Amino acid sequence: MSASIPSPEYIKIRHAHRQFMTPEGGIINALDNISLSIAQSEFITLLGPSGCGKTTLLKIIAGFEELDSGDILLDGQSIIQQPAHKRPVNTVFQSYALFPHMTVGDNVGYGLDIAKVNKVERNQRVAEALTMVGLSGIEQRLPSQLSGGQQQRVALARAIINRPKLLLLDEPLSALDKNLRLQMQLELKNLQTELGICFIFVTHDQEEALTMSDQIVVLNSGKIDQIGTPDEIYHTPKTEFVARFIGESNILSGMVISKSENGVNIDCNGCTIFSHDQTLKLGEEVKLLLRPEHLSLTPNELEGPQAQLTMTLNQTVFVGSDYQLHGELSNGLPFSALTRKTNTPLIKGQQLTLYYQVDALHTIPAKQKSIKGHI
Amino acid sequence: MKKQTPLGRLLSIYSVFFFLFLYAPVILIVIYSFNSNPINIMIWDGFTFDWYRSIFGLATSLTDTSSYVDSTDQLLNALLNSLIVAASATLVATFLGTSTAVALARYRFKLHSFYRLLLFVPMVMPDIVLGIALLIFFVGAGFTLGNSTIIIGHCTFLTSYVFIVVSARLAGMNPLTEAASADLGANEWQTFRRVTLPLILPGVIGGALLSFIISMDDLVITYFISGVDSTTLPVFILGMIRRGIKPEINAIATLMLLFSVVIASAGIYFKSKNTSTH
Amino acid sequence: MNPLNLSRKQLALITLLTPTSLFLLIFFIGPMLIMLTYSFLEPGLYGGVEWHFYHWNYGRVLGWADGIYEEFDPVYLKILLRSIGLSVATVLCTLFICYPVAFWVSTLSAKNKALCIFLMTLPFFASMVVRLYAWVLILRNSGFANQFLEATGLITEPLNLMFSGTAVIIGMVYIFIPFMFLPIYSSVEKLDKNLLQASEDLGATPFTTFRRVVFPLTLPGIVAGCILVFIPSLGNFVVPDLLGGAKVLMIGNMIEQQFLYARNWPFGATLSMVIIFMMMIILSIYLYKSTKKQAGL
C-alpha cells in the first residue's frame, strides 16, 4: 500500500454541522461547520477538551450519529447515507465494548462471521490479527479473564480484521495505567505504519497526541482551531486556546509600543518584552507565548539572541531532571520557568533574572478566528 | 434533535398500549364504582355515592335496600381481621427477618448457604402448596384455625421478604463503621443499637411496609388456614365475587386500590428520601 | 464464663439465628415434611387418613386406578398437562408483551424511567383479587368487552369470553406481568449500548446484532422472568376459579377440591408434591446452569 501514491484528499469532511439540544432547551453546536481533508495512510489525532465535538465527529464518521448538514467523502464517495454496518470503517471503542458472552476468538472473528468468511480462512485471519497485536493463542479465553491492556489489544484486533479503509479510535488508551499507555502509543503507531491505513485517533491527552500523530486537529467548542504537525501545534500555536491546551505555557497580553530594525517592544502591563516579529504593527494588541523550557537562569544555556526579564520567586518544585520555578513578574502576573539544577541556592522572595530565546517567543494576534483546514 | 425511527415510533405506541392494558381495567372499576345503575353495572346511568354509603351501612337513596347492608358487619369484621393479622405478622416477620439478615451479613459460618436457601424457598413456593401444608399441619397439631394460624402462616413467607430488603441495605453499608464503633469501645449490642440499626432502619421500615401490604393482600394461603369467623378482606371479597357481581364490590375494590396506592407511594417516598440523604 | 465455652461472637450468632431457625423449622420445614408424608398415606373413607404406606396417590395422578375402585382414567393427567400448557402460554405472552417495552423504557430519560418502574411495581401492591375482579367485569357476558363489541356492531350476540382457556391466560398474564417485566428490564438496562454499536461497526445488520449480541446478553433476565411467572402460574387456583369456571380446571383447583370438598387430603398432598417436584426440577436446572456460567466455563 505504501507503494501507491497516497491521495491527499482521501477523506473529505465538508461543512459538517451538528446541533444538540440541551435539557434546558438551549442549542449547542457540537460541530460548527467543520471542513477537513485527510490524506491516505495518515495518523490523525482529534485533540480537544471534553465537549469540544471530537467524539461526535468520530461517531458521525462511524455512522452512529447523523449530520444536520454537510457531507463526508471517503475515497471520493459520500458515506453519510450508508448505515454504520455498511461503511468500510471500524472503531476501537473507549470502553473496548468487547462482547462479554463470546470468547476472544469469537470477538475477533465476529466481523468475518458476519461477512460469511469460511471457517478455515476465518480462523487463520483471527490468529493473524491476534499475533499482530501481540496476543497469539488466547482465542478460547473470555474477555473477563483478560487484563485491561489485553482487552484493549483484542478490541484492536477485532477492529482491524475486516481490513477497514479507515480505523477510528475513541480514546482507547484512557483506561490504561501510564506505563502501559506509553507502550501502547508506540505499538499503535507501528501498527498504523504496518497496515498503511488511515487512523483517526480521538484524545484529550496532548502528550498522547504529540507522540503519535502525523497531524493534529485541535478542536474547540465545535470548531477547528488549528491543524498541523505536532511540531507546528507546539511551537507555533495559532490561537491562545491551542497555546494553553498544549504544553506548559506563559501567556502574556500586550501591545506593541515601539518598533526598531531588530524587532518590536511589547508592553505587557508595565513589563517590556522584546520580539523579532516584524509583521506586528505599532499599537497592535498581541498575545505572547513563552514556554517555560525556553527560559533559563544562565544565558549560556540558550542558543541565539536573548533577552531578559525579572521574576520574584514564590515556589520551587523539583520534577526529576529539572526545577520548576513559579513566581510573578514585576507587573504581578504569574510566570514560570523550567531550568536545570543550579548551584546557587533558590530562596523564596528572591528576584531572579530570567533569560529567554527571542526566537522561541511566539506571538499570537489577539483577534482569533477559526480556520478551514487542509492537510 | 434526535429523530425517531419508524421502529422507535412503533415501539412507543406499543408501550403506551402496554401501560393502558395494565391500568385501564383497574381504572374501569374506579369509574363504575360511581355508576348509579343497579341492574347492569357496566351501563352508565349517572353519578352516585350510594355504593360507598351502602358498604358502610349508611342510608341510601336506593329503593332496593336488599343489597349488602346486612353484610356490612362481616365486611368491617374482615377488614379488622386483615389489619390485626397484617400488623402482628409484620411485627414478628420484621424481627425474624432482620435478625437473620444481620447474622448472615456480619458472621461467617458453615450453614451460611443453607440459611440463604431456607429463606429463599418460602418466597418461590407456590401459595397453594404452602397453604395446604400449613392446613395439614395446623389441623394435625390441634390448632384452632383463626387469626393466630393466619399470622403464623403469613410469617413463614414474610420473613423472607424482610430478609431480602434488609440484606440489600446491609450490603450497601460500609462495614468499617461497625469496626470504628468497636474500636471506640462499644460492645456488640451497643454497636448494633447505636450504629447498625440506625443505618439499616430505612431497610427495616421498607421491609415492614412490604410485608404489611403482602399480608393485607394475601388470598390463597389465608383461604386455606382461616377459620370460620376469621375471614380476611381478600377472602371475603373472593366470596362476594363468587356469589355474583354487585355494584358494592366496585366500591370496596376502589377503596382497597386507594389504600394500596397510598401505602405504596408512602413507601417509595420514604425510600427516595432515604437514598437522597444517603 | 459459660458452660459450652462459646466465644462472644458465637453467642451473638446463636442469639440472632435461633428465633428464625426454630420458627421456620416448626412452621415451614415441619409442614412440608408432613405433607410429603401425607402423600404416601391412604385416604380414609370419611376424610382423614390411614397411617400406612400407600403409593397409589402418585399412580392416580398419572391415571392409574387404585386397583380396586377405578379404571384407568387420565383425568388428572389431562388437568396437569392443561396446567402446564396454560402456564407456558402465560409465560410466552408475558415475555412477548414485556420484552419490547423493557427496551422502550431503557431509552427514556431518568425521570420517565423512574415513573415507568413505579407504574410497573404499583400492581404488586394492589390486591390480586381486585385486579382479577376487573377482568371478571370486562369479560363476562354483560361485561365491558361484549358491550363494546356490540356497540361497534361487530357482534349481535354476546360472546362467551369467560370460562375459557383464553380468559385464564389473560387473567394470569395480567397479574404476573410485573414478575416478567422487572428481571427483563434489569438485564436490558445492564446491556452496554456500546456493544450494539460495536456489532454494527463490524458489519452486522440490526437483526444480526439482536440475534448475536442483544438476545444472548438479555437471556439471563428472560430466563429469570420465565421462572418467576411459570412457578406461580402452575399452582394458581384463583384465576381459573374466577375466570375459568368448571370448564378450565387447573391443578390448583384440584388441590382445593381435594381439601375442601372431596376431603381426600393424601391425594391433595400428592398433587402439591407434584407441583413441588416440577418447581425443584426447574430451579435446579437454573441454578446448575447459572453456577456453571459464573465459573466461567
Q: pLDDT (tens digit, 0 to 9) for every residue of chain C, 297 residues total? A: 455 667 777 888 888 999 999 999 999 999 999 999 999 888 877 667 777 787 778 878 777 765 555 566 778 888 999 999 999 999 999 999 999 999 999 988 888 898 898 888 888 778 888 899 999 988 888 788 888 888 887 888 877 888 888 999 999 999 999 999 999 999 999 999 899 999 999 999 989 999 999 999 999 999 999 999 999 999 898 999 999 887 888 999 999 988 888 888 888 999 999 999 999 999 999 988 888 776 654
- B195 torsion bin: left (phi>0), alpha (psi -120 to 50), beta (else): alpha
Q: What is the distance in angstroms between the CA of the first residue and the CA of the last residue of chain B? A: 36
A311: closest CA among A364, A358, A350? A350
Question: Which one-letter DSSP state was computed for residue A64?
Answer: S
CB contact under 8 A, A111 and C203: yes
| Separation between Cα atoms, residue C236 and residue C239, nearest integer Å | 7
Domain at B72-244, CATH class: mainly alpha
Does residue A206 share a domain with residue A230? yes
ipTM of the complex: 0.87
Which of A181, A211, A243 is at the close of a domain? A243
Rounded Cα gap, residues B118 and B100, in angstroms: 11
Residue A373 lies in a domain: no
Contact A21 B1 (CB under 8 A): yes
Distance CA B203, CA B187 (A): 23
Residue that is last in its domain, among A243, A275, A299: A243
Q: How far apart are CA C58 and CA C64, in angstroms?
A: 9
The sign of the torsion formed by the CA atoms of B105, B108, B109, B111 equals positive
- Contacts of residue C13 in chain B, CB cutoff 8 Å? 103, 107, 109
CATH number of the domain that residue A17 is part of = 3.40.50.300
- Among B216, B194, B204, smallest CA distance to B82 is for B216
Model pLDDT, residue A2: 42
User: Distance, in angstroms, between C201 CA and closest chain B CA?
Assistant: 19
- Taking CB atoms and an 8 Å cutoff, what residues of chain C touch A63? 200-201
Q: Does C49 touch chain B (CB under 8 A)?
A: no
A12-42 burial, b at 16+ Cβ within 10 Å, e below that, comes to bbbebebebeeeeeeeebbbbbbbbbbbbbb
B3 touches chain A (CB under 8 A): yes
CA distance B214 to B260: 10
Q: What percent of chain B has pLDDT over 70?
A: 88
Q: Are residues A315 and A179 in the same domain?
A: no
pLDDT at B164: 93
Q: How many domains does chain A have?
A: 2
pLDDT at B277 over 60: no
Residues A85 and A201 in one domain: yes
Cα-based torsion angle of the residue sequence A351, A356, A362, A364 in order, rounded to the nearest 10 degrees: 20
Give a yes or no: residue A111 inside a domain. yes
H-type alpha helices, chain C: 8-24, 30-38, 56-62, 75-106, 110-125, 128-139, 144-151, 165-190, 193-201, 206-209, 215-234, 238-239, 251-260, 265-294
Confidence grade of residue B190 (pLDDT, cut at 50, 70, 90)? confident
User: Which of C108, C111, C201, C219 is the best substitution to test chain A (most A C-beta atoms within 10 A)?
Assistant: C201
CA dist B253 and A76 (Å) reads 70
Question: Is B161 buried (19+), middle (13-18) or exposed (0-12) by CB count in 10 A?
Answer: buried
pTM: 0.82
Which residues of chain A have a pLDDT value below 70?
Answer: 1-6, 300-302, 343, 367-375
CATH homologous superfamily of domain C74-263?
MetI-like (1.10.3720.10)
Q: Who among C104, C128, C276 is closest to B129 (CB)?
A: C276
Partner-chain contact C272 B132, CB within 8 Å: yes
C-alpha separations of A159 from A130, A153, A167, A175, C210 in Å: 11, 10, 7, 18, 20
Please give the Cα distance from C150 to C139 (Å, whole number): 13
At residue B1, the pLDDT reads 38
Average pLDDT over residues B1-12: 74
Range with lowest mean pLDDT among A237-246, B63-72, B163-172, C48-57: B63-72
Give domain limits for chain B.
Answer: 6-66, 72-244
Residue A13 sits at φ, ψ, to 5 deg, of: -110, 125
Q: Which residue in chain C has the smallest CA separation from B163?
A: C20
Per-residue model confidence (pLDDT) at position A301:
65
Last residue of a domain, one of A243, A271, A295: A243
Residue A317: strand, helix, or coil: strand
Question: Looking at beta carbons, which residues of chain C come within 8 Å of A85?
Answer: 200-205
Give the three-state DSSP class for A199: strand
Domain that holds residue A214: 11-243
Residue A196: partners with Cβ closer than 8 Å, 6 or more residues away: A1, A2, A41
Q: What is the pLDDT of residue C144?
A: 81
Contact B1, A21 (CB under 8 A): yes
Give the helix, strand, coil percentages of chain A, each rounded to 5. 25, 35, 40
Do residues A17 and A148 share a domain? yes
Whether A201 contacts A55, CB under 8 Å: no
pLDDT at B70 over 70: no
pLDDT of residue A4: 52
Cβ-contact A223, A241 below 8 angstroms: no
pLDDT at A355: 85
| Helix axis angle, C8-24 to B112-124, nearest 10° | 30
Residue A242 burial (CB count, 10 A): 27
Q: What is the pLDDT of residue C89?
A: 97
Q: A109 and A55, same structural domain?
A: yes
The 10s digit of each residue's pLDDT in B105-116 is 888 888 888 999
Residue with cell 504496518: A194
Alpha carbons C75 and C189: distance in angstroms, whole number: 45
Identify all chain A residues contacting C296, using CB atoms and an 8 Å cutoff: 142, 144-145
A352 inside domain:
yes
